[in-house]
Structure formats: C-alpha cells, structure tokens
C-alpha cells in the first residue's frame, strides 16, 4: 500500500513540478542570468532587482499594479462583503439574480468587460457621442476610475467567499450580547463581523491576487489609456525589439513576490486566528423577509445594471450597429458583424478567422478542463488521504501554483520549451498547440485542486482504510469510493477550468503558434484595430456559446448521474 501511495504521490508531484514550478524557477533564474535560456549568459547578479526603483517604466509598472490591486481589493471586498451580508440575512426577489450575476462576472474575462467600458466611456464612446458626457472620459480613465471599474468586476470573488461563510447561524452569541444590552448594530459590529473576519480576509486576498495578475484590463485599455502594469510590461518586454529578458525577468520576479506575500499573509492570519465557533447548536441560517424589500431590489438591481449592464449591454449595442457614432436607430441596425464572424477567413488573418479561433480555443479548453480535473482529483486525494513522503512537496507546489499567473506562466514556458537541444528529443514544444494545452492545464490546476479539496475534506478516511485492509488498491479506492461521493465537485472543477481556459488572453498572446488562430486574440486584435462591431459581436457570441456549453454539459452529466443512481437502486 505504501509503495502504491508513494508512486501516485511521486508521479503527480513530478507532474506539478514540470508544469508549474519549473517555469517559475526559470523566470527566477533569468533575473540573475538574463538570456541564459537562449545562449547569452550575462551575469547580472541580484543587483538588477534594485533597478526597478530607478528605471521609470519599471517603477511605474510596479506602483500601478500595487496601488490598483490595493484599491480594487479594498473596494471590491466592501462591495462583496456588503452584498454577502445582505444575501445571507434576507430573502428578496433579486437575490438569485445576484448569485447568477456573480458567476457571470467570474466567467467573462476582464478584457471583454474592459472593452465594454472603453466603448461606453471613451472620448468616442456611446455616452460622449449620444449624450455629450465628455466628463465621463476623464472620470473613468484615471487611476481611481480604473479602481472602480475593476472592483465592479472583481467583487464576486469576495462575495462568494464571504457568503459561503454565512451559511451557518450561531445566534446564541448575538443573543448573549443582546441580553447585555447591545443594540442590533452593536451585535453585528462586535459579534457577527469579527466571526466573519477570516472570510473577509480570504475575499480581500483573492481579489488582490486576481487584480495584480490581471492582463486583460491593461491590454484592453492600451488603445485609449496608457497605464503600464507589471503584467503588460512583461508582455511588452518579450515582444519588443530587441527582446528585454532582463526587464521581463525582474518584473516577473516582483509579480511573483507580491502574490507570494499576499498568500503568506493570508495563511499566517488564518493560522494565528481561532474562529472555531461552529458547534452542535449551529443551524443553517433561515433568511427573513426585509421590511423594505422593494428598496433593496431597486438598489441591488441598479448596482448589477452598472456591473453587467454597462460593459455587456454596450457590447451588445455596438455589435448591432453599423456605426456606433450614428446612434440607435432602425437604419443603423445590422447583423452584418455577426455574419462576418462565420465568413471565410481570407484577408488580414489578424482580424478574421473567428470561426477557426473559436474551435481552437474550445478544443484546448475542453482538453485542459478534463486533464486538470483528473490531476486535481489525484492531488486532492494524495493530500487528503495518504501519507506519501511527497505530500509536503505536493502541498508546496499546489500553493505556489496560485502565484504563477498567466503572464508568468507564459514567459516561463517560453524559457523552458524553446530550447534547441529539445528538438532531437521531439520536445521542442514552443510554437505548437500542444504547449498551449500544457499551459492551459497548468493554469487550471489551482482552481481544480481548490474546488476538490473542499469536498474531500468532508469525507471520512475510515472508509478508505477499511477498503485498504480488504486489499483494495489506491486506484480502486479512488474509483469505487471517492469518485461517486465527490462527483459533483469534479463536475464543478471541470466547468470552472473550462470557463477560465477558453478566454485566457495572456497565454494566448504569449504562446500563440504561427498561423494558429485563437479566439481571445481575434477579439483583442479586432478591437485594437478599431473593428468594434466585429469585436463586440465575437464577444457576445463567445460568451453566449461558453455559457450554453457549460449549462449543456451540466445538464448532460446530471442526467448521466441520475441514470447511474437509478440502476444502482
């Protein structure tokens, strides 16, 4: 049994090392030896790290990323926390729509949302042309405006983390405070809020990490507003002439450092805090009807209209208009942009080829979703139910994976897999779709592991020990005991990985093979070259198709599960 566990643990640890830790290690090595992976050994030492405080672009990129992430994390947690507390306390009509909107904002990538805001608020945008709101451009396209835009799209990370922690009611603590004369607000401030502190901290950290590693927003804003961040500057360093390996390595190092510090603070705070308040008297919270439900529905409805209605609604409107500047009239309506999506891909390949790009992106995302689900299942099993000697290393790699964002992963894969000595071995993967698949799997593994660890924690290890005593091997225990009990989390992990992989602009931009069209790049480049109708039509169709695909897969797998349960009963 020990040998079998060691084999599984060692195999999946080696896999995570190759997919995630090795690219990260290559990025860090490149800081001291820029160009070492391409035959140019230039010993720089660690002194180059200090240049980020001297060189204007490097310093500005660091400051923009940190200040943006701090602002978005704080404001996004305020939004998400307030909505989560309201959702947990009261039952109101728009509550389910709030839950659905949170998931939609998580699935839709930031570059698509940012494009909608650009078309809405830029100098040539809808509001400026239709209503003459020129002040809106200056209000939105400045640091505080970007913080607001990002917070409106990132708050679901905090909302979902906090609302999950409010599932159980421990009202005896609040009742004790009320017996001592505390007012309802005092009870909330001194009892309920402190008990929710770990979830608020987790939500803040998730928003911070997602913002500091975001590539889509600066990519979309680059057409109208120059706001260099670490992620976009790393991309620019690799794709400028001459290539700046030193700049890419240093900025990637600081990006990883910031993400690592954020994770470390979260783990330290959670480890030093005791919030084991759930006991036998805890019951599931029963939501009550608010006194002024109509007012609550209006306020939250207006908030969701801003979050989703402005970026997505603007994209839908622009996709249906011949010219955005001619207003919304019958004469200006057209479906030609949608028809162009599925036409022949002749002409400028940077702007056309959406059909091929969509098929390529969906195929890569589907493969990555299945593989990351399988890998995540094995990782969660080894961490939860085995005593493998590789357990500590596997735990380290699974945590480090959260810090390896798309841009860092992309530059690391370029360093590792673009080596001439790999050609005789058939492993020179740079410039091939297979490298995109590997990168997509690596990018989806953190989500797959985290989703499945939650369900694994509710399983009793005694069942597996009993099966092991009866001679069942590790694979048999996975298949016959664990798999049927965690199948819903497997489905959720697969769908989450699918949704995050299909729109990954960072990896698509850095690892696109020659003459291989990818859907995120088609949308981004069409927007960059001013073909807004084409870009927005592609955005609407892509988002709609992915949502339909996810719902169809969920329904199909649910039907299969019911058939299996029916046969067993």
Inter-residue contact 94 to 299 (CB < 8 Å):
no
C-alpha 542/C-alpha 67 separation (Å) is: 32
Cα–Cα distance between 238 and 245 in angstroms, integer? 7
Distance, CA of 242 to CA of 239 (rounded, Å):
8
185-209 confidence digits (pLDDT tens) = 565 556 566 666 667 787 888 889 8
DSSP 429: -
pLDDT of res. 345? 44
Q: Are 407 and 252 in contact (CB under 8 A)?
A: yes
Q: Tokens for 475, please give them.
A: 């694979």
Q: Do the domains at 1-32+353-522 and 46-309 have one common CATH topology? A: yes
Residue pair 439/510 in contact (Cβ under 8 Å)? The answer is: no
393 burial (CB, 10 Å; 0-12 / 13-18 / 19+) is middle
Tally the residues of the chain.
Answer: 569
Number of other CB atoms surrounding residue 553 within 10 Å: 16
The 10 Å Cβ neighbour count of residue 104 is 16
Domain 1-32+353-522: CATH class, spelled out:
mainly alpha
Q: What is the per-residue pLDDT across 226-237, written as a single tens digit (0 to 9) for each?
A: 888 888 888 888
* Number of Cβ within a 10 Å radius of residue 37: 19
Q: What is the Cα gyration radius of the chain?
A: 25
What is the DSSP code (8-state) at residue 240? S
According to the model, what pLDDT value does residue 303 have?
A: 92
- Distance from CA of residue 425 to its chain's centroid? 34
- Residue ranges of the alpha helices (H) in 90-134? 95-107, 110-121, 126-130
- Given a contact cutoff of 8 angstroms between Cβ atoms, the answer to whether 24 and 410 are in contact is no
Predicted confidence at residue 479, as pLDDT, reads: 73
> How many angstroms separate the first and last alpha carbons of the chain?
32
Instruction: Return the closest-CA partner of residue 286 out of 100, 419, 91, 530.
Output: 91
Phi then psi for residue 329, to 5 deg, are: -140, 165
Each domain of the chain, given as residue ranges in start order, spans 1-32+353-522, 46-309
Instruction: Answer for the pair 499, 451: CB distance below 8 angstroms, yes or no.
Output: no
pTM above 0.85, yes or no: no
Show the low-confidence residues of the chain (pLDDT under 50).
1-2, 168, 273-284, 345-351
Amino acid 347: pLDDT: 43
Cα-Cα-Cα-Cα dihedral sign, residues 30, 35, 41, 45: negative
Instruction: Characterise 19 by phi-psi region: left (phi > 0), alpha (psi -120 to 50), beta (else).
Output: alpha
Name residue, tokens 């200056």. Answer: 138
Taking the C-alpha atoms of residue 250 and residue 262, their distance in angstroms, rounded to an integer, is: 19
Superfamily, domain 46-309: MetI-like (1.10.3720.10)
Two tokens at 469? Answer: 């005593």
């Amino acid at each position: 049994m020990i040998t079998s566990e060691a084999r599984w643990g060692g195999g999946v640890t080696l896999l995570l090392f190759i997919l995630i830790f090795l690219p990260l290690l290559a990025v860090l090595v490149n800081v001291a030896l820029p160009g070492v992976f391409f035959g140019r050994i230039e010993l720089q030492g660690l002194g180059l790290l200090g240049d980020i405080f001297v060189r204007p672009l490097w310093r500005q990129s660091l400051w923009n990323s940190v200040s943006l992430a701090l602002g978005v994390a704080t404001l996004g947690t305020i939004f998400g926390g307030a909505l989560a507390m309201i959702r947990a306390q009261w039952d109101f009509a728009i509550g389910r729509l709030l839950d659905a909107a949170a998931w939609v904002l998580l699935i839709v990538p930031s570059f698509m949302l940012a494009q909608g805001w650009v078309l809405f608020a830029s100098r040539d945008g809808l509001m400026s042309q239709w209503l003459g709101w020129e002040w809106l451009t200056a209000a939105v396209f400045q640091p505080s405006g970007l913080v607001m835009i990002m917070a409106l799209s990132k708050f679901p990370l905090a909302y979902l983390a906090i609302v999950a922690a409010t599932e159980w009611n421990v009202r005896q603590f609040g009742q004790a405070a009320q017996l001592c004369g505390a007012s309802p607000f005092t009870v909330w401030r001194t009892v309920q809020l402190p008990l929710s502190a770990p979830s608020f901290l987790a939500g803040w950290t998730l928003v911070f990490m997602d913002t500091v590693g975001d590539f889509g927003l600066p990519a979309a804003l680059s057409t109208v507003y120059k706001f260099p961040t670490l992620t976009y500057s790393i991309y620019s360093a690799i794709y400028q002439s001459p290539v700046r390996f030193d700049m890419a390595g240093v900025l990637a190092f600081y990006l990883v450092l910031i993400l690592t510090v954020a994770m470390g603070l979260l783990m330290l705070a959670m480890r030093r805090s005791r919030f084991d308040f759930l006991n036998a008297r805890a019951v599931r919270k029963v939501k009550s009807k608010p006194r002024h439900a109509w007012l609550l529905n209006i306020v939250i409805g207006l908030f969701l209209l801003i979050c989703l209605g402005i970026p997505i609604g603007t994209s839908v409107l622009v996709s249906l208009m011949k010219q955005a500047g001619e207003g919304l009239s019958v004469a200006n309506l057209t479906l030609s942009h949608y028809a162009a999506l599925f036409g022949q891909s002749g002409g400028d390949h940077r702007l056309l080829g959406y059909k091929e790009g969509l098929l390529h992106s969906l195929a890569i995302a589907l493969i990555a979703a299945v593989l990351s689900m399988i890998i995540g299942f094995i990782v969660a099993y080894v961490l939860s139910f085995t005593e493998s000697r590789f357990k500590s290393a596997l735990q380290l790699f699974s945590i480090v994976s959260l810090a390896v964002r798309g841009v860092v992963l992309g530059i690391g894969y370029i360093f590792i897999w673009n080596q001439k000595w790999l050609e005789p071995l058939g492993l020179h993967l740079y410039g091939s779709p297979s490298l995109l698949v590997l990168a997509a799997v690596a990018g989806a593994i953190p989500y797959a592991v985290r989703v499945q660890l939650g369900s694994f924690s509710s399983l009793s290890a005694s069942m597996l020990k009993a099966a092991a005593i009866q001679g069942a091997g590790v694979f048999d225990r996975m298949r016959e005991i664990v798999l049927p009990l965690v199948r819903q989390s497997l489905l959720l992990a697969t769908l989450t990985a699918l949704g995050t992989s299909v729109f990954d602009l960072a990896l698509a931009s850095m690892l696109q093979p020659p003459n291989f069209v990818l859907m995120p790049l088609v949308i981004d480049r069409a927007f960059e070259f001013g073909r807004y109708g084409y870009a927005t039509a592609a955005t609407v169709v892509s988002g709609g198709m992915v949502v339909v695909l996810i719902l169809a897969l969920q329904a199909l797998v649910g039907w299969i599960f019911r058939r299996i349960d029916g046969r067993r009963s």
